[in-house]
Amino acid sequence: MSFQAPKGTFDWMPPRSELALAVRDAMSAPVRRAGYGYVETPTFEDTALFARGVGESTDIVSKEMYTFEDKGGRSITLRPEGTASTVRAVLQHGLQNGPLPAKVWYSGSFFRYERAQKGRYRHFSQVGAEALGVEDPALDAELIQLAAEGFASLGLTGVRLLLNSLGCAACRPAYRAALQDFLRALDLDDATRARVELNPLRVLDDKRPEVRAQLGGAPLVTDHLCEACKGYHEEVRSLLTDAGVAFADDPRLVRGLDYYTRTTFEFVHDGLGSQSAVGGGGRYDGLSEMIGGPPLPGVGWAIGVDRTVLALEAEGLAAPRSSGGVQVYGVALGDEARRLLFSLLIELRRAGVTADMAFGGKGLKGAMKGADRSGATYAVIIGERDLAAGAAQVKDLASGEQAAVPLAEIVTTLKERLTQ
């Protein structure tokens, strides 16, 4: 084979791919129950959308975006994150003119030219949820609770929630000035010094040990919050406590994107090493204006599918699953039996039972090996004698017990057994 997946990417393959599907389902189910509607945006957008929305000073825009010129001479970028695209779509299609908040969720692939390592890929998958048009601490708390519910439904116990407030346009300038004064006195490289002047909060997000070692005495944003932001943050905290969502205050938590205001949060898992974040988000009340839209407050999150799968594996929750994950496996001996079994499997699938069969004219021994490998609970075996008797052999693949069941009762019998 001469071709392989590009560096920094990987293929989801059975049985592990079933975990990725499980994560998408688990994280989307709570938001769908809360009235969030699905949106799907293009994989690529006008480069200016991300330059303006994500922020010129971010590593994403300055170093990591996959940007190219298309055949029409337009600068196009593979989306590095989902919020800017979602807000653009909401504005373009006028959802802000309908009932507010406009609640939407998405799932898809994203692209960043990262330094490839476990848990940090150049092509990755996320599930995200956004609520736009209302500034309300209850909305912030709702989204956080829904994400926590998704993680819990997967059986994860090692996910921790970190919470902070980044203030607003009224109180952040004073904090920004104090932080700049502190950072200017540190031993930093030229590129980081330039970032101090452009967006000093981004320096707090620097993961390099030589930088982090100097940040211990940095001023805290929580010490500079205005009364309105303090009250807003306390309400978010109170609502989460009432909802039974455990969290830890982290006054040094910042997000890697420029558009965040007030509530910011991150879900981390200690079993993943340096790439511990499995998701996060926050409020972004100025993003709409940044991309040319009207004032439209918003809050949202994105959960990393790839990292959540790693968290499941770290907790031993990633037991191997069979490719296809069928419940019933059919074995037919002879052409007439195969035609009958083919129709029977269609009936089972329509009844909600996952089912497969042996293909290629295999003998009984080879077909039963396929049944064992399929991970099915039951095998349905039909031979010439069974046809003559109008029945099929139903075998419990775990216990080995086998009994004849009339063909007319196969679907009902299997559904009953599988729900016991």
pLDDT in tens, the chain (420 residues): 689 999 989 899 988 898 999 999 999 999 999 999 999 999 999 999 998 877 665 667 767 899 999 999 999 999 999 999 999 999 999 999 999 999 999 999 999 998 877 778 899 999 999 999 999 999 999 999 999 999 999 999 999 999 999 999 889 888 889 999 999 989 899 888 988 888 888 888 777 889 989 988 889 888 899 999 999 999 999 999 999 999 999 988 887 566 788 999 999 998 887 778 999 999 999 899 989 999 999 999 999 999 999 999 999 987 544 445 789 999 999 999 999 999 999 999 999 999 999 998 788 888 888 888 888 999 999 999 999 999 999 999 999 999 999 999 999 999 999 987
Residues in contact with 228: Cβ distance below 8 Å, sequence separation at least 6, in sequence order: 168, 170
| Homologous superfamily in CATH for domain 17-171+225-314 | Bira Bifunctional Protein; Domain 2 (3.30.930.10)
Residues in contact with 170: Cβ distance below 8 Å, sequence separation at least 6, in sequence order: 226, 228, 229
**Secondary structure letter of residue 120 according to DSSP:** B
Pull the structure tokens for residue 22.
């499980």
Q: Which helix (H) or strand (E) holds 380?
A: strand 378-382
Residue 81 annotated as part of some ligand binding site: yes
| Homologous superfamily in CATH for domain 328-418 | Anticodon-binding domain (3.40.50.800)
Match 């779509």 to its residue by tokens: 89
Q: What are the phi and psi torsion angles at 249 (to 5°)?
A: -70, 130
pLDDT of amino acid 321: 47
Cβ distance 83 to 302 under 8 Å?
A: yes
> Per the omega criterion (within 30 degrees of 0), is the bond before 15 cis?
yes
pLDDT of amino acid 375: 86
| C-alpha–C-alpha distance, residues 236 and 281, integer Å | 14
Q: Is 385 helix (H, G, I), strand (E, B) or coil?
A: helix
Pull the structure tokens for residue 274.
């340096």
Sign, CA torsion 68/73/79/84: positive
Residue 292 annotated as part of some ligand binding site: no
Cβ distance 288 to 264 under 8 Å?
A: no
pLDDT of amino acid 88: 97
Pull the structure tokens for residue 376.
């099915």
Residue 69 annotated as part of some ligand binding site: no
Listed in order, strand segments (DSSP E) in 240-327 are 248-249, 261-269, 277-283, 298-304
Residue 112 annotated as part of some ligand binding site: yes
Cβ distance 30 to 150 under 8 Å?
A: yes
Pull the structure tokens for residue 5.
């997946």
Radius of gyration of the chain (CA): 27
Residue 19's closest CA among 378, 316, 349? 316
Q: Which amino acid is at 139?
A: L
| C-alpha–C-alpha distance, residues 397 and 261, integer Å | 56
What is the pTM assigned to this prediction?
0.87
> In degrees to the nearest 10, what's the CA dihedral of 188, 193, 199, 203?
-10
pLDDT of amino acid 283: 96
Pull the structure tokens for residue 287.
């993003």
Sign, CA torsion 53/83/222/277: negative
Residue 126 annotated as part of some ligand binding site: yes
Q: Which helix (H) or strand (E) holds 44?
A: strand 44-46
In the chain, ranges of CATH 3.40.50.800 domains:
328-418
In the chain, ranges of CATH 3.30.930.10 domains:
17-171+225-314
Cβ distance 65 to 48 under 8 Å?
A: no
**Rounded (5°) CA angle 341-347-349:** 105
Pull the structure tokens for residue 120.
């940090």
Residue 82 annotated as part of some ligand binding site: yes
Half-sphere exposure at residue 418, Cβ-oriented, CA atoms within 13 angstroms: 21
Cβ distance 232 to 262 under 8 Å?
A: yes
| C-alpha–C-alpha distance, residues 234 and 240, integer Å | 10
**Rounded (5°) CA angle 210-215-221:** 150
Cβ distance 276 to 270 under 8 Å?
A: yes
Residue 260 annotated as part of some ligand binding site: yes
Side-by-side strand order, sheet with 44-46: 44-46, 75-78, 67-69
